[in-house]
Structure 1
């Protein structure tokens, strides 16, 4: 960027030093504005965007450090250089911690000043360019049903948009229920391999022998029950993506064979001696700490580094509270359509319960909770009574008139009778509480012979 297009704000309560800086920077071709104190600097930064700020640390009124903090809170993108006549480490450390790009000591070395300014401006320009690129990538990214607008999810989507077009092996980590396979599918859908197959394997669901056969295939007669040759998942995923879920559960002996397949890009069927070339991209996932597993001798270090080329850590739902209403609304539409119900939404009390819940089962737990609520709902809104006991404060134990271990019709009948009892037998009041019309209430009662 040309100096004539760059606007710099100088902040110094010393008129002589402030004037000298203004003249010097103008001679260098920059557009310069000046402020005599920190309060004025903060106010000016709220009025317009500056490309760089040079600010003295010791001023009347608020200090340079305080002004720095306020400006960074309002606009963290502005690079700020702090000037101090005291070259003490404590001031420098405090300035850097508060967000300063760098600090300079008075009297200023003009060559050092210009070099530091150029570095700060180049850094800001590169950051803006990268941000624009990430936003462009994210805008064209097919999310594949990934839902979330929270800061952790926005960062994740930007990362996904960057790595999906590559051929890099990806390791997805996160607690159970965070949506690791959804991420794997999104990586495949946005990769050059999108027209190829996507194949998923749960490494924890099979015995060692069956897992080897599942991954690499087997020859006829290779083991008891192998009545014909079978192609494995690696061959099925050729020219596409293979998702190895629960990779941390894979036995050590199988880890050796997987490592060879990754390194050599070739496999052998169980019971066979023919080497088969494969071209697959691997996305692996685990809810375990694989480094701890390596240290414990349960996971091979060389395989870990082969798989962990790009690491993606999925945030648990409790760290993305803003996404709970979005996810709940999505699942509500999904299950209302599936069950043929017209449900408009959640009551404020029900949503409050969901927002306060820790969600140890993450998105999967939320999905199950909403499905249960849709099944139980008789009115147009889901309330606290339809939520699982862990959310509604109830008990999992069966209770008279309760909902445990009942069929859908039994649940509906129980809910109607509960409402009638709570309304003292008043059918209109019971219908109001259930969110249904009196006509519907009569029809339901007739259906169940009440």
Structure 2
């Protein structure tokens, strides 16, 4: 519904405007002074028809304040004085347009329709700021092993549906790449694609990040902000590391999935959203449900279709494909010739288990471009130092550890290697600095609880 608020002290004129606009299909509310207008929430309206001179003040003096409450609000000033100077002032204050009295209803209708066109464009642009800009061509590669071909066959059957998807697998197997593939070829491909790393958002900010907030909802909330779900309307939202969501937020996410509505922090009205949800985790959510860390009803809502991506050690035929993919990427990035490996060097790479999966392959290939002269063939002796004891000692150690324990060990060992330098550690691990800081803080908290 397209909503218009009229602030006009002449009741006859206001009634004429209301009848005309209702006939055109708009929802219209009236008030006759600035004081009574305060009972209306401007976030509920698209257009404000504002009389310039009102019994309790000058309407144009409050234009900036109105727009601060609702940045998408279009203010059309109505003046009976034909004062060009006041009209210019109102435009400088942020008014969309002005119209002289007596009101030409045809012109008013034209101005309002033009305003709605601009509102639509502004909202689309607001969403576009959050749409992922990375090129699918550059970032997309999955593999061609038999196990992956079978998995892609399943994925292709669900791409055109709106079913929620749960993508599982170890860290670094390519869960986000699969999501990009699904979004790229879905019927929502030209709509917003919003990525949210649930583990990287501080616990006290998760709700406002996902669902947005109203002006004054908390200290520092100077104006309303749409959340990720609102920005993803008509498109796809990718909730990475969904297992990290606090339980209280899980219940609110469940409500979104069941009702298709959200409520901003500090808000009182429901907002409809049409969003396809793709969630991913490296945790075993069935185990998290048993431990009481994850809601069973949310798990079943998300797990309509489960896509489990196997680790690279279970599809070794794909190792050369990923090496070649990153070889071409970093050849361009560093302006060097592509790497050529000797046969015995390739044997090491094929026999290594790659516990960090595709992310580890990527980091390894980049490391070669940084350290070595790629004009020469890379030999076994050049790279063996990177793999000493990795397949035996560490595999045995990792076999008795959970995924969370392995992740913690890798992060802390890498931090130690770079002498506590978090920026270098995050880069080496292929994660954001914010994610690293979140992980370290979690480890400190767990240590304090022991």
Equivalent residues of 1:376, 1:386 under 8 A apart: no
Please give the residue correspondences for 1:297-376 in structure 2 after superposition, counting only pairs within 5 Å: 297-376=292-371
Within the candidate set 237, 241, 244, 1:246 is matched to 241
**Once the 2 structures are TM-superposed, how far is the Cα of residue 156 of structure 1 from its aligned partner?**
1.2
User: 2:359 & 2:217 partners in 1: Cα distance?
Assistant: 39
User: 1:243 & 1:150 partners in 2: Cα distance?
Assistant: 26
SS at 1:204's partner residue? helix
User: 1:345 & 1:147 partners in 2: Cα distance?
Assistant: 22
Instruction: Name the structure 2 match of 1:286.
Output: 281
Within the candidate set 384, 387, 393, 2:380 is matched to 384
Q: TM-score normalized by structure 2?
A: 0.55
Equivalent residues of 2:229, 2:273 under 8 A apart: yes
Equivalent residues of 1:265, 1:277 under 8 A apart: yes
Structure 1 363/330 Cα, relative in aligned 2: closer, same or farther at 3 Å?
same
Counterpart check, 1:187 vs 2:170: no
**Once the 2 structures are TM-superposed, how far is the Cα of residue 265 of structure 1 from its aligned partner?**
0.3
Rg (Cα) greater in structure: 1
**Once the 2 structures are TM-superposed, how far is the Cα of residue 393 of structure 1 from its aligned partner?**
6.0
User: 1:180 & 1:205 partners in 2: Cα distance?
Assistant: 17
Please give the residue correspondences for 1:125-204 in structure 2 after superposition, counting only pairs within 5 Å: 145-204=140-199
SS at 2:363's partner residue? helix
User: 2:265 & 2:204 partners in 1: Cα distance?
Assistant: 9
SS at 2:271's partner residue? strand
Equivalent residues of 2:340, 2:374 under 8 A apart: no
User: 1:216 & 1:383 partners in 2: Cα distance?
Assistant: 53
Structure 1 335/386 Cα, relative in aligned 2: closer, same or farther at 3 Å?
farther
SS at 2:199's partner residue? coil
SS at 2:167's partner residue? strand
Instruction: Name the structure 1 match of 2:224.
Output: 229
**Once the 2 structures are TM-superposed, how far is the Cα of residue 236 of structure 1 from its aligned partner?**
0.8
Counterpart check, 1:208 vs 2:203: yes
Q: TM-score normalized by structure 1?
A: 0.55
Unaligned runs of at least 5 residues, structure 2 = 1-136, 391-416, 419-450
**Once the 2 structures are TM-superposed, how far is the Cα of residue 146 of structure 1 from its aligned partner?**
2.4
SS at 1:172's partner residue? strand
**Once the 2 structures are TM-superposed, how far is the Cα of residue 172 of structure 1 from its aligned partner?**
0.1
Structure 1 322/383 Cα, relative in aligned 2: closer, same or farther at 3 Å?
same
Within the candidate set 276, 279, 289, 2:271 is matched to 276
SS at 1:328's partner residue? helix
User: 2:378 & 2:219 partners in 1: Cα distance?
Assistant: 53
User: 1:186 & 1:256 partners in 2: Cα distance?
Assistant: 29
Deviating beyond 6 angstroms after TM superposition, the runs of 4 or more aligned structure 1 residues are none
Counterpart check, 1:257 vs 2:252: yes
Structure 1 167/369 Cα, relative in aligned 2: closer, same or farther at 3 Å?
same
What does the per-residue CA deviation read over 1:366-420, in whole Å, with 9 as the maximum and x for residues that have no partner? Answer: 10001001111214333335537442669xxxxxxxxx97xxxxxxxxxxxxxxx
